[in-house]
Every structure is written in structure tokens, then in C-alpha cells.
Structure 1
Amino acid sequence: MPLVTLTSDIGSQDYLVGAIKGRLLRIDPAFQIIDISHSLSPFNYPQAAYVCRSAIRNFPEFTFHVVLINLFESKPEQLLLAFHNNQYVICADNGLLSMILEDKPEMVIGIPLEKAAIKNTLYCIDIAARAITQLANGEPVERIGIPDAEYNEKNPLRPLLGESWIEGQIIFIDNFENVVVNITQEQFEQQRKGRRFKIVFKRDEVIERISGSYADVPQGEKLVLFNSAGYMEIAINKGNAAGLFGLRGFNENTESHAMMHNRLFYQTVKVFFE
């Protein structure tokens, strides 16, 4: 019984998520389907990479993760099926795979799409479902697609590093308006080297210690902790940090507009070490 996760930017307003699950079950009623999220922002690759990467690592080995993000950035010619750290990822050939994995996958198969087919979301899910069934049944990869296929890559959004500082970007704002920054605890400690630090954002907001939980500070006070995914998080105990501080994350919808006006299209958080 293959375990299959679904992540998308489709939302839940219409029929499509239900139809996707129906198509999966029509191809193999034994699929166990788990939703990760269908509320990701359209075209927001850093956000999608963070959510997928943080969820995938918690699943049993050999789970199939179907990522339906920006399927049609360009006219699709193939889907990608990657295997890495004992997990399978199926996604569009749009650069997101390298951002999720932050590494070269151990295996990549290019699954060709029929040239004459109407390449909509349900067609793509049919192709993905058949590939999952073939793999689960032990068919060789050569019968599923093209091994070691060439594919598009995008660089992960990594923090900038200096001798006495590290600068991260806001990549996600959760339902409580806690703000996630692309600095992991491991990166923070490696750069810190036991030194004191100041975390600075919005010019004059400063935090000088890492909390273990939201309750470490009085209600209404700001704090920084490392969340369950291991990423830096700015929060307010029983408050909404993003709204109160006017923080926002990367949004590719505003990228071209911001660049035209010579402005950053995401906000940064900087840590100074002393």
C-alpha cells in the first residue's frame, strides 16, 4: 500500500483537490493519501521548498511525495521522479526539486508527457500515479521513464554569511503569523562560535537571546526560537509578529514590480555576533 503525500498551491475552494484524490484512487485504490498543504502561495518557490522539505523528512522511508506547485511555468514535457534519502519526490520540471532537496538527488527519472495530450493537472496526476504503481510493483526504472534525465535547477534561498554576521530572508509566515527565517539552528551555531549575538529586524527591533518556547517571555513580548523544523522563528507570545511588525515573506508575484522600482522583494533578518 504506497503512502502518497500531496502538496499544492491549488487551495480548497473548488473541486480540484478532491478530483486529484479520486484519480489517484481510481488508478490504485490501495494508495494511502495524506495532505501536507494545499494553501501554499502561488509561484512562491522558497515557501514551497521549506514546507515540503520540513514535512518530507518526517515520513516513513519510501513514501511518495507528489508536489503540484507551478506545474505550468512552461509547457511541460516531463515530470520528475527523484529518489533521495529514502524518499520519492514527484514534481514538475520547474527547478523546485533542487530547492526542496538542497542537494543532488541519488536518482532522477524523467517521465515523458505525451505530446498530443492535454496537459492539465489531472493528466499530470494520472502520469504520476501510474509511475508510483509501477515502482511499487517492482518494475525497472527504464520502463517508467528516462534515467538520469536532464532537468531544470534553481538555487535554494540560502542566508548570506560574514565573519561577524549572518543575514536570512523571511520564507514563511504561519497561521499564527509567526515568521520563519531561512537560518537553521545548525547554521546559526556554526556562525556564532559561542559568541554573544543580536538579532535585528525592521531596523530597530532587537532580540538578544534564543527562547525554548513561546512561554519563555511574558504575553505580548517578542521572542526568537528555533521551530520544530529547525529554522529560526520570530514570534510574539500570544500575538501576531508578522502583522504587528509589518513583516512579509518572499512573494514572486511582486518580484518584477519590486525589481523595477529597485526594492527588495523579501525582508531580511540579520544576526550580529560579538
Structure 2
Amino acid sequence: MAIITLSTDIGTSDFIIGAFKGQLLTSGATGSIVDITHQLSSSNFAEVAYICNNAFHFYPEETIHIIVTSLFEYEDGHFLIARFNKQYIICPDNGILTMITHQTPLEVYKYELSGPTERTTMTLLSQYAKAAAQLSRGRYPIQLAEKCTDFIERYPIRPTFGDDWIDGQIIFIDKFENVVVNISKEEFEACRKGRSFAITFGRNYASNQITRISENYSSASKDEYLANFNSAGLLELSIRGGNMAGLFGLQGFKEENQHVQQLLNSTQGGQKRNWFYQTIRIFFT
């Protein structure tokens, strides 16, 4: 039985998601329709990739993942179907595919839009529903779309390393305002080499420091700054019973036209975007 997951930036305050599920059923989709989230960011693709990548791992082979974010960023008359890790991903051709996969999938197909020339959210989603329904009934992407290599690629920003330091970037802030940094446990330990360390954050690096890794929240006392590696294997900073991001003014993402400390330039489709991430620095001694 097929599983179709939905991850969108549409929200749930109006009729769109309910109508989209109706389109899937009307198109003949078989199996279960599962909501991952409808609160994706429309601009912070690193956050979208973090959520989707870490959720998709837990689904069985042949799951069909539909991702809708920044749907109208490019109007090229198509979307993508990819096969990756024995699952399917259906998404806009706006760079989100490779942000999630962290590599170029070997099988990517360009699904050309058909039907009404008017491009509204519901007319576009009806095409996603049609493709997903056909996949759920056992059809292959090559039967629905043309294999391609000329799609937009973007990749997550990576930490930078020195002999005695790592610079990581905040990629996600959860509802408790805990801060997730793009440094994995493996990267941390490889650079640490058994040494002492200080994780610094906020405007005052000298006083805002964490010098140990905790197993979980219960291992810290109330109001203590806490660092641990979360379920995704990434560094997470928090305060036991407090609000890390709000207290220190930490921000996960900004998109601006001015130069600030960290940027990832992406130029596709005649558009130039600067992506900025706030830095968390770790010193080793």
C-alpha cells in the first residue's frame, strides 16, 4: 500500500490542504496520505531540508513525498519527480530537491504541466496530485515525465574548520526556541581530537559559553545553558526551562541585499539571492 506524505508552506488556516487531499483522492491515489508539516518556511531552504531530510528517513521504501514550498518562485511550466534512497520526491524546480538530498539524485524527471494555462495554487497542486496518484498505482516516473539533468541545484551551507575552531551556522529554531546548528557529532569529534572546548554564541562570545556536551535536558540544572547532539545528530543549544534564541537574539536565517558575515549566493533563473546564517563558533584548547 502506497504512502503519500505532504510537506508544504501553505499552513492549515484555510481550505487549500483539505482541497489538495481531495484532489489526490479524486485522482485515484491509493494508500495513506500523511501530513509531515504545513508550516515549512517559504524562504529558508536549509530549514526545509532539515525537516524533510530527517523525517523522510523513517518512511518505508516506495513512499511518495510531496514537497510544496516557494511554489511560484520560478514559472517554468514543470515540476520534478526524483527517485532517491528508494523513495520518490515530487517538488518544485527551485533548488529544494538537492537541498534535501545533499547530492544530485541519479534519477530526476521533469513533469510538464498540462491543462489550464492559468497558474493558481490549486491548478498547480492538481498536477502534483495527478503525478502522485499515478506513482501510487505503480507507474514509473519514466512513464510520466522526461528524465533530465538541467534542473536547479542548491546545496546546504557547510561548517568551516580551522585547527582550533569550527564555525557553524544556525539552520533551525524550534518552537521552544532551541537552536540547531549544522555541525554533526562526527565533525565535532574529528576536530576536537579529545581536547577541551568552548561553544560560544550571541554578541558576547567571552561570557556566553558552553563547555560540555550533555546527554539530554534532564542532565542540566534549571536555567543552565545546554549543548547536546539531537535526534538528527546535529548540535543543539538550549536553556533548561528557558528560551535560548529569544534570550540571546539568535536568528536562524535572513535573506538580504546587504553584506553580512555569512552568505551563500545562489544565482538561477536570472535571480540573485543572498542567504545569511548566524554563526556559532567552537574553540578547542
TM-score normalised per structure 2: 0.88
Cα deviation, residue 24, structure 1? 1.2
1:206 to 200, 206, 209: 209
Aligned-residue offset at 1:136? 3.4
Residue type matched to 1:136 in 2?
S
Cross-structure match for 1:124: 124
Deviation of the 1:63 alpha carbon: 0.9
Aligned counterpart, 1:180: 180
Structure 2: state its 5+ residue gaps.
263-275
Q: Which residue of 2 aligns with 1:22?
A: 22
Secondary structure of the 1:181 match is strand
Relative to structure 2, which stretch is displaced further, 19-28 or 214-223? 19-28
Counterpart in 1 of 2:283? 272
Post-superposition offset of 1:132: 2.5
The whole-number CA distance in structure 2 between the counterparts of 1:234 and 1:140 is 43
1:231 aligns with 2:242: no
Work out whether residues 25 and 31 of structure 1, in 8 Å CA contact, stay in contact via their aligned partners in 2.
no
SS at match of 2:237: strand
1:263 Cα shift? 6.0
Which residue pairs with 1:82 in the alignment? 82
Q: Is the Cα–Cα contact under 8 Å of residues 76 and 119 in structure 1 kept in the other structure?
A: no
Alignment of structure 1 residues 152-191 onto 2, 5 Å: 152-191=152-191
Q: Secondary structure at the match of 1:52?
A: helix
Aligned to 1:59: 59
Question: What CA distance in whole angstroms lies between the structure 2 residues aligned with 1:140 and 1:181?
Answer: 37
Q: Give the count of matched residue pairs.
A: 269
- Aligned match of 1:192: 192
Offset at 1:116?
A: 5.2
> How big is each residue's C-alpha offset from its partner over 1:103-137, in whole Å with a ceiling of 9 and x where there is no partner?
12131111011385222222232222222233333
Please name the residue that 1:137 is paired with: 137
Provide the identity percentage: 43
**Cα shift readout 1:237-258 (whole Å, capped 9, x = no counterpart):** 1111111121111133xx22xx
Counterpart residue number, 2:249: 246
How far apart, in 2, do the equivalents of 1:131 and 1:52 lie? 20
Name the stretch that deviates more: 186-195 or 223-232.
Answer: 186-195
Distance in structure 1 (CA, Å) of the matches to 2:87 and 2:143 = 20
Larger mean CA deviation between 60-69 and 146-155 belongs to 146-155
The answer on whether the counterparts of 1:24 and 1:125 sit within 8 Å (CA) in structure 2 is no
Identify the residue that residue 70 of structure 1 maps to in structure 2: 70
Which residue identity is paired with 2:166? I
1:211-268 alpha-carbon deviations (Å, 9 max, x no partner) = 110111101111001111111110111111111121111133xx22xx16x5664311
Contact 2:74 2:93 in 1 (8 A): no
Q: Give the letter for the 2:221 counterpart.
A: P
1:175-214 CA distances to partner (integer Å, 9 max, x unpaired)?
1111111111122122222222111111231111111101
Query: The residue matched to 1:117 in structure 2 has which SS?
Result: coil
For the residue of structure 2 that corresponds to 1:190, the secondary structure is helix
Compared CA separation, residues 30 and 139, structure 1 to 2 (3 A): closer
Distance (Å, rounded) in 1 between the aligned partners of 2:29 and 2:155:
37
- Offset from partner CA, 1:149-197 (integer Å, 9 cap, x none): 4200112121112222111111111011111111111221222222221
Determine the C-alpha separation between the residues in 2 that align with 1:141 and 1:217.
50
Relative to total residues, which structure has the larger helix share, 1 or 2?
A: 1
Distance 1:63 1:106 in 2: 17
Alignment correspondent of 1:102:
102
